[in-house]
C-alpha cells in the first residue's frame, strides 16, 4: 500500500483521487494540500482523507507519506517537486511538467540528482483505446508509422489561472498541445528524435493574452510527422480524436464526446454530464467511467507498479521535458512563421534511425505504386521504372 499526499484540490486533483480511491484500491491519499482551507476541508471530507493542510511543506514532509502527487497550477510545479525531492519522496506530476523547457529541465535534474522516483502524469497515452492501438502498432499491424494526427478541442479550461500566461506559461498549446504531442511521440516512437516544428497560433475568440487555437507539425528524424490541432474555441463539449497512418494500415480513435453513449433529455439531465460538457439538455454525451476512459486508472497502475519494481514508468519527467522543448519550438515558430529546431539539452533516444521508406518491388524492373480494381471489374497496376523513373500503368 502506498500512502499519498495529494497537492491540489481542483478538477485534476479530484480526478486523480477518484482514480486512486476507486475499485477498492489499496493505495490511499492520506493527506491533501490546498491553498484554500475551506476547499481542503471539504475535499478531505468528500474523499475520506484523514488530514488536510494549507502548508505545502507539511504535506510533503509528512512521515506517513510515500508518494507526492502534484496537481497544482503550472507555476507551482517546480516548488512542489523540489520540496518533494528534498524530502526524499517519490513524485508524480500532472502535465505539463513546466511552463517552458528550461523550467522542466531544472525539475528533471532535481529529481535525478536526489534519486527519487518520478512519473509524468500524461493520462491520454494511458486510455484503454490508446493502449490497445499502441500495442497493435508495436505488433506491426499497420506497418511503419508515417503520420499521427491528434486533436483536442473544447470551450476552454475550468479555472482562472489557465487563462493567465504568466501563471500557466501559455495558452492552448501548453494546455492541450502537451497531450497531442506526446500521443504523437508514443505512436511514432519515443526513441526517434523530434527535429523541428512549424506552428500557427492565434487568439481568435477569447479576450486573453494567450493563444486560444493552434495547429502544428512536428518532424521526426525518420521522416514521420506528428500533427496536432488544439482549441479553446470548440463548442459542444470536449473532442479527443487521434489518427495514425502507417504504410500498411491506419487507426482512428475517438476517446471522448462520441464514444457510443448518447442521451436525449428534454428537461435536462439535472447534474454533471462529462468534462467540458456545455449543456445538460437535448442531445448529450455522458461518459460511462470518466476516470477510466481518460486513462487515469491505467496511468496510476503503471506508476505504482513501476515504483514497486524499481523500474521506470512508461512516462517519466524526461518525457515531460521533451514535450516542453517541442512546445517551446512551437512558440518560436508562431513568431518567426518558419520551421524552428527542437532544442534539447540532452537526447536519450537513438542517434541512428532507419529512414521511413517502404518501397515495394513489383519485379526486378519496376516499383509498385498502386493497385486498384475499377468499377467495371478491371484491375489496374501503377508502376515506376527503376531506371528511368517513368510511371506506367498496366491491366492485370
Full DSSP string of 333-359: HHHH-S-EE---S---S-S----S---
Task: Evaluate whether 184 touches 124 at the Cβ level (below 8 Å).
Answer: no
| String of DSSP letters for 175-186 | IIIHHHHHHHHH
Q: Rounded to whole angstroms, what are the CA distances from 21 to 125, 274, 299, 304, 368?
A: 21, 20, 14, 14, 55
Domain 3-122 belongs in CATH node 3.40.50.720: yes
The secondary element (H helix, E strand) that includes residue 162 is none
Q: For the beta carbon of residue 79, count every other beta carbon within 10 angstroms.
A: 13
Hey, where are the domains in the chain?
3-122, 125-341, 360-395
User: If you search the block for the grid coordinates 511521440, which residue do you land on?
Assistant: 185
pTM for this model (two decimals): 0.92
Listed in order, strand segments (DSSP E) in 8-144 are 28-33, 51-53, 67-70, 90-94, 118-121
Quote the CA–CA distance of 315 and 326 in Å, as a whole number.
Answer: 16
Q: Which residues of the chain have pLDDT under 50?
A: none
Give the pLDDT of residue 389: 94
91-109 per-position pLDDT tens digit: 999 999 999 999 999 999 9
Distance set, CA 131 to CA 139, 163, 229 (Å): 12, 31, 21
Q: Are 259 and 231 in contact (CB under 8 A)?
A: no
Show the cell assigned to 144: 511503419
CATH number listed for the domain at residues 125-341: 3.30.360.10
Residue 286, pLDDT score: 87
Rounded to whole angstroms, how far apart are CA atoms 207 and 188? 36
Amino acid at each position: 500500500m502506498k500512502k499519498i499526499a495529494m497537492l491540489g484540490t481542483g478538477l485534476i486533483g479530484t480526478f486523480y483521487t477518484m482514480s486512486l480511491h476507486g475499485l477498492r484500491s489499496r493505495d490511499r491519499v492520506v493527506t491533501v494540500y490546498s491553498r484554500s482551507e475551506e476547499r481542503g476541508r471539504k475535499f478531505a471530507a468528500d474523499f475520506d482523507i484523514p488530514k488536510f493542510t494549507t502548508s505545502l511543506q507539511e504535506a510533503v514532509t509528512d512521515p506517513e507519506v510515500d508518494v507526492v502527487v502534484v496537481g497544482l497550477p503550472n507555476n507551482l510545479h517546480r516548488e512542489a517537486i523540489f520540496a518533494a525531492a528534498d524530502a526524499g519522496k517519490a513524485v508524480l506530476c500532472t502535465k505539463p511538467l513546466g511552463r517552458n523547457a528550461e523550467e522542466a529541465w531544472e525539475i528533471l535534474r532535481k529529481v535525478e540528482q536526489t534519486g527519487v522516483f518520478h512519473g509524468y502524469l500524461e493520462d491520454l497515452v494511458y486510455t484503454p483505446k490508446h493502449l490497445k492501438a499502441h500495442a497493435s502498432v508495436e505488433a506491426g499491424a499497420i506497418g511503419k508509422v508515417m503520420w499521427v494526427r491528434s486533436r483536442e478541442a473544447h470551450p476552454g479550461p475550468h479555472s482562472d489561472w489557465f487563462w493567465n500566461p504568466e501563471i500557466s506559461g501559455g495558452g492552448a498549446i501548453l494546455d492541450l498541445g502537451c497531450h497531442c504531442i506526446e500521443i504523437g511521440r508514443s505512436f511514432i516512437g519515443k526513441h526517434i528524435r523530434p527535429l523541428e516544428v512549424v506552428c500557427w497560433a492565434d487568439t481568435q475568440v477569447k479576450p486573453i493574452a494567450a493563444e486560444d487555437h493552434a495547429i502544428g507539425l512536428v518532424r521526426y528524424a525518420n521522416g514521420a510527422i506528428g500533427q496536432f490541432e488544439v482549441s479553446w474555441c470548440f463548442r459542444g463539449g470536449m473532442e479527443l480524436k487521434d489518427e495514425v497512418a502507417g504504410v500498411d494500415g491506419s487507426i482512428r480513435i475517438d476517446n471522448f464526446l462520441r464514444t457510443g453513449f448518447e442521451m436525449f433529455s428534454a428537461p435536462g439531465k439535472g447534474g454533471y454530464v462529462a468534462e467540458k460538457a456545455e449543456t445538460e439538455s437535448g442531445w448529450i454525451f455522458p461518459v460511462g467511467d470518466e476516470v477510466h476512459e481518460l486513462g487515469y486508472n491505467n496511468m496510476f497502475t503503471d506508476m505504482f507498479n513501476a515504483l514497486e519494481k524499481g523500474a521506470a514508468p512508461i512516462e517519466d519527467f524526461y518525457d515531460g521535458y521533451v514535450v516542453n522543448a517541442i512546445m517551446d519550438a512551437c512558440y518560436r515558430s508562431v513568431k518567426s512563421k518558419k520551421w524552428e529546431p527542437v532544442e534539447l539539452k540532452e537526447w536519450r533516444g537513438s542517434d541512428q534511425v532507419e529512414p521511413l521508406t517502404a518501397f515495394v518491388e513489383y519485379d526486378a524492373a519496376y516499383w509498385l505504386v498502386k493497385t486498384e480494381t475499377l468499377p467495371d471489374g478491371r484491375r489496374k497496376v501503377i508502376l515506376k521504372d527503376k531506371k528511368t523513373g517513368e510511371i506506367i500503368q498496366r491491366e492485370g
